[in-house]
Amino acid sequence: MRVLGVDPGTKTFDVVVIEEGVVEVEKSIETIEVAKNPTNLIEIIDMLNADYIVAPSGYGVPITRGDEVLDPRRFAIEILLLSTEEDIERGVEVGEPGIWVYDALAKTVEHLVKKYGSKVLFIPSVILLPTVPTYRKINKIDMGTVDKLAATFIAIHSYAEKEGIEYGDVNIVVAELGFGYNAVISVENGKIVDGIGGTYASIGTLTAGALDLEVVVRVSRWDRWDVFHGGIFHYLKVYDMNLLAKAFEKGEEPYASFFRSFIESIVKDIMRALVSTPKANAILLTGRHSKIETVRKLLQEYIKDINIESVLPLKGATISKEAGQGYAAIGEGIVSNSSVFKDLVEHMRIRDACGTVADYLLHEKLVEFKERIRKAYTDLVKNPKTCL
């Protein structure tokens, strides 16, 4: 059985095919190329002849098959991307690259659902997992998007294999350092119990991350694409973390200070995550920026008591990121009874994910948004898995 996963990264889209637990095919395509023409991605997926496809799932949804989706474009835009057609139209109009990607994702989802039906899977994000206590979900949406959950899946599998332990004995913090967003996920006894997602974490490279409410109220209107802005790359006009790492090593300002700010932000989020998994034996790094030795070294200087390690890739993987491998691995664990990943899917209770990412919003200003997302989910999916 060949299971294909698509990770819609900020810098690249990774397409990974797994067969019997081994990565057989890896393709990487620049995100800007997908944004300009989604056919670039669609043709790769069609060419690989997979038995099942785990489609880009954005902010996540309880496990849903393509034939359960009643209107794939609305499903993609309103549920997976938490947007509206107006957001897409306005973003495309003003030339916002992030919204071009959203539009390309919606077109890709439309194609996959219409062509492959029940062979397409959409999977959950962190906030939808029942292993995360409700009290940690209050007034949150982004506790880790689907790609962050997928990367954490690989981290748990990798660490258990390396240490020769059962999944239930895995206590780690996973720091996913992507091109545009960071996320930090708490894993206790092999289950995700908390998460600090990219738009909720401290400042990232592209995103501003969590903002002081005193800052928020000073802006009369926020656009959907503002989550893609405000990070250190935008301010410095440098879009390569390797260059910033070298500038830090040479003490070149203001780059050195901003690089340290980026590192300290990650450290603070890791320390927050340790509240939820105090017995963590290791901090595992995933994502594009985790491969930079200066990043790992400086993080270890701040956090002296816990070893910081890189996640080992799946067998056969050489170029794909952990998130892409995780998309495919989760898919194989769902559809194949003989998969090496089936036990981890069950252990993490991924099948038991339910509800929508907006379910736990309490602020009175968000009531209308919350109800819109819930209605969209129940209207657009057959047999919706609600949990509240």
pLDDT by residue (tens digit) across 51-77? 999 999 999 999 999 999 999 999 999
Nearest CA-CA partner of 387 in 376, 374, 371: 374
Give 325-337 as a DSSP string: HHHHHHHHHHH-T
Both structure tokens of 263: 């590192």
- Mean pLDDT along residues 127-139: 98
What mean pLDDT value characterizes the chain? 96
- pTM greater than 0.95: yes
Domain limits, the chain: 2-380
pLDDT value at 263 more than 80: yes
R_g (Cα) of the chain, nearest Å: 19
CB 178 within 8 A of CB 10: yes
Paired with 184 in beta bridges are 175, 196
Q: Is it the case that residue 231 has pLDDT exceeding 80?
A: yes
Cα separation values, 177 from 19, 241, 346, 360, Å: 27, 11, 26, 26
Using the predicted structure, report yes or no on whether residue 388 has a pLDDT greater than 90.
no
Q: What is the DSSP letter of 210?
A: S
Please give the pLDDT value at position 163.
Answer: 97
H or E element in which residue 172 lies? strand 172-177
What whole-number distance in Å separates Cα of residue 298 and Cα of residue 292?
Answer: 10
- Rounded Cα gap, residues 71 and 39, in angstroms: 20
CA distances from 300 to 152, 169, 263, 295, 362 (A): 20, 23, 10, 9, 37
Report the pLDDT averaged over residues 301-305: 95
What is the mean predicted confidence (pLDDT) over 332-361?
Answer: 96
**In which residue are the tokens 């395509």 written?**
29
Q: What is the 3-state secondary structure (H, E, C) of 5-35?
A: EEEECCCEEEEEEEECCEEEEEEEEEHHHHH
At 4 the pLDDT is: 98
Pair of tokens at residue 384 = 């919706």
Arithmetic mean of pLDDT, 263-291: 96
How is residue 329 written in tokens?
A: 């691995």
- How far is Cα 244 from Cα 185, in angstroms, rounded to an integer? 25
pLDDT classification of 84: cutoffs 50, 70, 90: very high
Q: What is the pLDDT of residue 162?
A: 97
pLDDT in the model for residue 338: 86
Look at residue 99 in the predicted model and tell me its pLDDT: 94
Q: What is the CATH number of domain 2-380?
A: 3.30.420.40
| 162 touches 336 (CB < 8 A) | no
Q: Is the pLDDT of residue 272 over 70?
A: yes
The pLDDT value recorded for residue 105 is 96
| Element spanning 121, H or E | strand 120-122
Q: Which residues, in sequence order, are CB contacts of 39 under 8 Å at separation 6+?
A: none
